[in-house]
Chain A
Amino acid sequence: MPPQASALRAPPAVARRNVAIEIRGVSQTFDLRGTALPVLEDIDLAVAPGEFVALLGPSGCGKSTLLRLVSGLDRPTAGTIAADGVIVEGPDPSRILVFQDPTLFPWASVWNNVATGLDARGVLDRQRGRVDDALKLVGLSGFARAYPHQLSGGMAQRAALARALVNDPALLLLDEPLGKLDSLTRLTLQGELLALWRAKGFTALLVTHDVEEAVLLSSRVIVLSERPARIKAEFAVDLAYPRHRDNPKVVELRRRILGTLGLET
């Protein structure tokens, strides 16, 4: 709690807020009507402050479960997760999860949706300007008074990003945030996400199905195995931003990653 409180007082644009994440021996088992279903098995992963790490893996392998554990919304069956050396014991606005569905509150305007975090922590009255700034950042200033059902899929996901960024998170957990968007909107938002990460400097953990997206955005790609998920392979992406999809190194890396996923091209 104390590190978060001090961060809220800090001017948002100046400080580059990020955090080191250390996942040590994490396993997660679900109880399905008396049958134990192992989802994650002995995951070890260290993410450096400000790093952008992509998690790839077959569908249903437990990638989303890992993100929920890091966010603190769920607790692991075994192992520990630490943020800057402090064990994660519950959710905290410094580590924000962005879902595949925007999950905006349909009864609240876009402005009020973005304001949720500040409002819930009772600091909204003093920091209303931050909501406007966050909306501007994602290009939704003109839609502050709109309701979620009036937004397109891409705009709704932008609003969800603004709702996360207004809290100035040190870690952004992205659970296939672009998974349901059409391919053009997806490309646009990939660029915007990258720009936000480079401007703000937060640590990012992205779950995706899209190998190309992982290679274009992240500095490291982690490939997970079938359920129960273990770390199967790791690829460093040492390429300058912005990366182009036709870059031979991108194409080569993509081919190798698909190979580890069992999809030879």
Chain B
Amino acid sequence: MTQATHLVERVAPSLARPGGRPVWAGGLAAAASWGAAALVTKALPNAVPYGSDDLFAILVGGGAVAFAGLAVAGPRSGRLREMLDHYGPWFIAIGVWLTLWEFSTAKTGWLPKPFFSAPTGLLHVYVSDWQRLLICVGYSLRLWALGFGLGALFGYVGGVALGWSKPFAYWGMPILKLIGPVPATAWIPVTFYFFPTTFDASVFIVALASGIPVMILTSSGVASVNRAYYDVGRNLGAGPWYLVSRIAIPSALPHTFVGLFMGLYYSFAVLVVAEMLGAKYGLGWYIQFQTNYSGYANVYATIVIMSLICAGLVKLLFVVRDRLLGWQEGFI
């Protein structure tokens, strides 16, 4: 208590700063909820042991100290403070969630093993199996990057061709309309026959899933370019290549990005399925493998990794889109 008042006295000058806000109250509450999670983990006896109790208590306890520090000594104004105020309720809720989760699994066994796991159980998976998980992340990212990259490339080139060229549209559109709605996973049995390795087959399935929406949206974008832009181009001396590359393609870019986002989500869905079929490593394979041994804690731990990777990749595509489509009215 005396320590706390001492701290407050030391930061008093910043408290008096004009335009500054009071102490970050949300941070104190978050410190309390995260502290409760640490306390529950350390002070109550385990009904079901999951391991890594000490490390978990240190991590969430450390979080609690960090929140308290930011609340008392952190910035009173500026962008960081605005961010802290904005996310404060989430920080509190996460602490509450961890406390209740740990309590209802490890401490009481209300949610039983093996179908449920404690946060300490998930942490234990990362601590004990991180090497294999890291390899799996690498394999999944390699498969995803190759599949999505090839799919986006072929989908884009094909979409431009379909939208621009009448012969391409005549032959290609009916085929695309037939193949497009078929789920990519339906092709799995035949791809394993046509491709030399399961990895090649998996890349093809991911590429197919992500390439088709890119192709459909790009072709519709190129086909719906304002004809007056072509008139302007032709009048100013532009040849066909210039009309495609400098007018049709940039004009269709907003459509293309809708296709890329759709393709991105499809690629994640298909990736896991593809890895469950005879892959040697990968997050999908890991989930399948652990399910067979009722390692549900490992499954949950992997799902957390997956969601972080997928959300990160979506965010990355948003950044790319914002850079390329900044010209759109009222876009940012």
What is the interface of chain A, defined by CB distance below 8 A to chain B? 71, 73, 91-93, 95-97, 99, 101, 103, 105-108, 116-117, 119-121, 147, 149, 163, 167
| Docked complex Cα distance between A107 and B250 (Å) | 7
Chain B CB count within 10 A is highest, among A71, A97, A107, A117, for: A107
Contact B235 A103 (CB under 8 A): no
| Docked complex Cα distance between A5 and B242 (Å) | 19
The residue that B242 contacts in the complex, of A73, A96, A120, with Cβ under 8 A, is A120
Contact B231 A117 (CB under 8 A): no
Chain A residues lying within 8 Å of B246, measured Cβ to Cβ, are 116, 119-120
The residue that A99 contacts in the complex, of B228, B239, B251, B329, with Cβ under 8 A, is B228
| Docked complex Cα distance between A147 and B235 (Å) | 22
Q: From residue A209, how far is it (CB to closest CB) to chain B in Å?
A: 20
Chain A residues lying within 8 Å of B330, measured Cβ to Cβ, are 149
Contact B327 A149 (CB under 8 A): yes
Q: From residue A240, how far is it (CB to closest CB) to chain B in Å?
A: 33
Query: Is B226 located at the chain interface by the 8 A CB criterion?
Result: yes
Chain B residues lying within 8 Å of A96, measured Cβ to Cβ, are 235-236
Range class of the B interface residue count = 20 to 34
Chain A residues lying within 8 Å of B231, measured Cβ to Cβ, are 73, 97, 99, 103
- In the complex, 19 of the A-B residue pairs with CB atoms within 8 angstroms, ordered by the A residue number, are A73-B231, A73-B235, A93-B235, A95-B235, A99-B232, A105-B232, A105-B247, A105-B251, A106-B328, A106-B329, A107-B250, A107-B251, A116-B236, A116-B246, A121-B236, A121-B237, A149-B327, A149-B329, A149-B330
Contact B229 A91 (CB under 8 A): no
Contact B236 A120 (CB under 8 A): yes
Contact B327 A117 (CB under 8 A): no
Chain A residues lying within 8 Å of B242, measured Cβ to Cβ, are 119-120
Q: Check A105/B250 contact, CB under 8 A, given A99-B228, A120-B239.
A: yes
A contact patch SS: loop
Top 4 closest pairs, chain A to chain B, by CB: A117-B236, A120-B238, A149-B329, A107-B250
Contact A73 B236 (CB under 8 A): no
| Docked complex Cα distance between A50 and B246 (Å) | 33
Chain A CB count within 10 A is highest, among B232, B242, B330, for: B232
Contact A97 B235 (CB under 8 A): yes
Query: Is B132 located at the chain interface by the 8 A CB criterion?
Result: no
Contact A92 B237 (CB under 8 A): yes
Q: Check A116/B327 contact, CB under 8 A, given A92-B237, A105-B250, A107-B251.
A: no
Q: Check A108/B250 contact, CB under 8 A, given A147-B327, A149-B329.
A: yes
The residue that A103 contacts in the complex, of B226, B237, B238, B239, with Cβ under 8 A, is B226
Query: Is B253 located at the chain interface by the 8 A CB criterion?
Result: yes
For window 241-295 of B, CB contacts with A under 8 Å fall at: 242, 246-247, 250-251, 253
Contact B236 A103 (CB under 8 A): no
| Docked complex Cα distance between A92 and B239 (Å) | 11
The residue that B233 contacts in the complex, of A107, A120, A149, with Cβ under 8 A, is A120
